[in-house]
């Protein structure tokens, strides 16, 4: 893959920029490279547990300068979708964390309701209880539409992979026999929204992700080229049998950056040769 034509980069976060509170190798150098080349970028993440402002703070604590406006979470996209499709006053029961709850309820557009809601909206919840699952199950069986922010069954942490939003969703689906309508990756909505925000196009964009079933599958759905890095969830063994194949694969961000820099160096060498040939 030739990287020289890329003008927009869409980063996944967990497993690409960091794991837990640990920044991954090559992040600072790659961001500096993109800034030097005037290449636009943003983060798109299925993690709906925090607000973009909280992500800005978290990244800043690791030395990564990423303004909140460049962090597009599945909660943000879910909130946007629901407001486009449901009127003010729609009742909602939520299984989720602060990032999702603040977006849905902070301005009073949606009304929180535990019994008989019109919607059940479910994301990751690190304090999930049987009672929360019970209420959601009853609501869905009672006719509430079931919306999931993302399908990620695992969540990368410093200790290893832990249950994610998709694991909670699997429990609810088992109990209700209802599959959720999923907003986040691998649906193309997040990719297209990010490109619109950045003024980019799919043809000149690159997704950098660590999951085959979300980052790469979503990129394919949105017709965006993709680079898989093996610093998060996906392994080479999984890649060999996956139906979702990235455009290119790198061990980590330093290897990706080296390839990108080499592409630029090769182009510069070819330009010099062309100039010399014309002068002769």
Of 14, 125, 213, 215, which is the active-site residue? 14
Which tokens hold the place of 30?
A: 């790659």
Residue 14 appears among annotated catalytic residues? yes
Residue 4 appears among annotated catalytic residues? no
Of 4, 12, 210, 237, which is the active-site residue? 12
Task: Classify 147 as helix, strand or coil.
Answer: strand
Supply the DSSP symbol for 107: T
Within 10 A of 143 (CB to CB), how many other CB atoms are there? Answer: 9
Q: Which H or E element spans position 231?
A: none
CA distance 135 to 248: 44
Closest CA to 233 of 52, 13, 66: 13
Q: What is the CA radius of gyration of the chain?
A: 20
N-term to C-term CA, the chain? 32
Spatial contact of 169 and 122, defined as CB atoms under 8 Å apart: yes
Closest CA to 15 of 253, 256, 261: 253
CA distance 93 to 241: 38
| Catalytic annotation, residues | 12, 14
């Amino acid at each position: 893959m030739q990287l020289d034509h890329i003008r927009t980069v869409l980063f996944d976060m967990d497993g690409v920029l960091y794991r837990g509170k640990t920044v991954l190798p090559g992040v600072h150098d790659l961001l500096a490279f993109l800034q030097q080349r005037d290449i636009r970028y943003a983060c798109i993440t299925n993690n709906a547990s925090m607000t973009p402002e909280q992500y800005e703070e978290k990244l800043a604590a690791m030395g990564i300068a990423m303004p909140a406006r460049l962090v597009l979470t599945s909660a943000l996209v879910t909130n946007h979708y629901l407001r486009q499709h449901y009127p003010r006053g729609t009742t909602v029961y939520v299984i989720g964390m602060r990032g999702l709850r603040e977006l849905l309820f902070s301005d009073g557009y949606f009304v929180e309701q535990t019994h008989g809601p019109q919607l059940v909206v479910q994301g990751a919840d690190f304090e999930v209880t049987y009672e929360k699952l019970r209420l959601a199950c009853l609501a869905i069986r009672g006719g509430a539409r079931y919306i999931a922010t993302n399908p990620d069954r695992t969540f990368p942490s410093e200790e290893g992979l832990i249950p994610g939003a998709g694991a909670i969703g699997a429990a609810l689906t088992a109990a209700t026999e209802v599959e959720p309508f999923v907003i986040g990756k691998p649906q193309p909505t997040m990719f297209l929204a990010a490109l619109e925000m950045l003024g980019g196009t799919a043809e000149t964009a690159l997704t950098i992700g660590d999951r085959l079933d979300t980052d790469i599958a979503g990129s394919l759905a949105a017709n965006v080229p993709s680079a898989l890095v093996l610093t998060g969830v996906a392994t080479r063994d999984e890649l060999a049998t996956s139906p979702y194949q990235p455009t290119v694969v790198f061990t980590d961000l330093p290897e990706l950056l080296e390839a990108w820099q080499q592409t630029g160096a090769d182009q510069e060498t070819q330009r010099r040769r062309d100039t010399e040939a014309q002068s002769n």
